[in-house]
Chains A and B, each alone.
Chain A
């Protein structure tokens, strides 16, 4: 049953103009970066920024929109002899596969074709982190949309969450660092950083790129405490929790929800 629903939902999503536009947008963006800069490292830094800023926003909005659009059809599916979990799993997998594929095709293809003998591992790290970020923010989108019946409120919460993770969180973090500057803050900084998937993604990429300018305070702490490889493993594991926990909570809400 999962396979049947998964195939149907993937087919349906692939016919959406938004997904095609999403892949084309990334393709044009990366091609333009190569065309204008010609410098691989600059392209990779720009791609990192896209992964950290654009991907979370698109994943949240796309996921929330998808759930609200499908709510009445979900009612038809839920009236069939199918367990609720299967409907949820198929839906989440379909959106994740489609959105990640569009990102990989759009941004990965031009990079991989050029970097096949160059910065392949770094490129792969960025793409891999992008897929993780998509999975995490899609799970958060499902959590928001299934907890909030009001579409406008759902989108509002999504946008606020994105702004908090991207901007507000770092502001608060800096304020805390400044206020408690006389105390040792390395361990609290690592913990505080784990509570933001965008920061985790930034650390994974900058540790791999070894870009001290983009690493920031927590990135430097990760490197100091764990070294690059262990630091990447730890931050990837925590980022995985940022997929697993929202996914579990969203599924739980879906299974017990009134439709």
Chain B
């Protein structure tokens, strides 16, 4: 389980995250939702120590991970923007990350097959489309069979077939007992995949709980609209 404890992040005077507390459950897909600039990516990056929080702590299995790097051996990360060295080929990139991690990429060949990447493996990454780079990004995150997956808008830029394949893969990973955190603006994906939903608004958590608790009537879009309407009404009062 990943615990976010009173995490704050300020950039100058701008408060991106405001003392937020969250728990991401094991063996579940935890969706992180919010408007652009609500702090979703910043929170994911704090968990990875790519961004240093102003205050607060993050614990994985009750161990603080701030200013540490070894714990990342258990995390697969899919960044929002997939940009790699231009002259590298996907296969060389996979080899590089494998060597750096000193781990066995046990899922690699199966992922390459399922995401239809076989014909692209020897091409320089500069010649690949954005969608294909995103598939490469997905292989990098999933190929080591790691217990934690952090995915920042994983289906963005993917064609419908690849998107469906990736969602299927994520459900398989969840059933293996992994902790999966993902962000997305595609609500149908969230509704289809997630077990727990956490919604951020202006750096605050406005909802955190099971999908069923949020969607009491209708669909996710209606539930979120209702939630934001309630907040707006409270602010107006």
Contacts and interface: CB of A to CB of B under 8 A. Distances in A.
Given A79-B79, A82-B69, A258-B50, A73 B85 contact: yes
A79 B77 contact: yes
A256 B88 CA distance: 28
B75 interface: yes
B16 to A, nearest CB: 10
Nearest to A79: B77
A4 B83 contact: no
Nearest to B73: A81
Given A72-B79, A259-B45, A78 B50 contact: yes
B101 A81 contact: yes
Given A73-B84, A73-B85, A83 B69 contact: yes
For the residues of A in contact with B, the DSSP-based class is helix
A39 interface: no
Contact of A76 (B52, B79, B87): B79
A8 B96 contact: yes
Contacts of A4: 96, 99-100
B86 to A, nearest CB: 8
Interface in A194-227: none
A150 interface: no
Contact of B140 (A12, A76, A84, A256): A76
B108 interface: no
Contacts of A12: 85-88
Contact of B101 (A16, A73, A75, A80): A80
B48 interface: yes
B87 A15 contact: yes
Interface in B65-93: 69-73, 75, 77, 79, 81-88
B215 interface: no
B153 to A, nearest CB: 14
Contacts of A76: 77, 79, 84, 97, 140
B20 interface: no
A47 B50 CA distance: 44
A1 interface: yes
A72 B81 contact: yes
Interface in A55-89: 70, 72-73, 75-84
Nearest to A9: B85
Contacts of B73: 81
Interface of B: 45, 48-52, 69-73, 75, 77, 79, 81-88, 96-97, 99-101, 140
18 contacts: A1-B100, A4-B99, A8-B85, A11-B87, A12-B87, A16-B87, A72-B81, A72-B84, A73-B83, A75-B50, A76-B77, A76-B84, A79-B72, A79-B79, A81-B69, A84-B69, A256-B52, A258-B52
* Shortest 9 CB-CB contacts between residues of A and residues of B: A72-B83, A79-B77, A81-B73, A15-B87, A81-B72, A258-B51, A259-B50, A12-B85, A4-B99
Given A75-B79, A81-B72, 9 more contacts: A4-B99, A4-B100, A5-B100, A8-B85, A72-B83, A76-B79, A79-B72, A80-B72, A80-B101
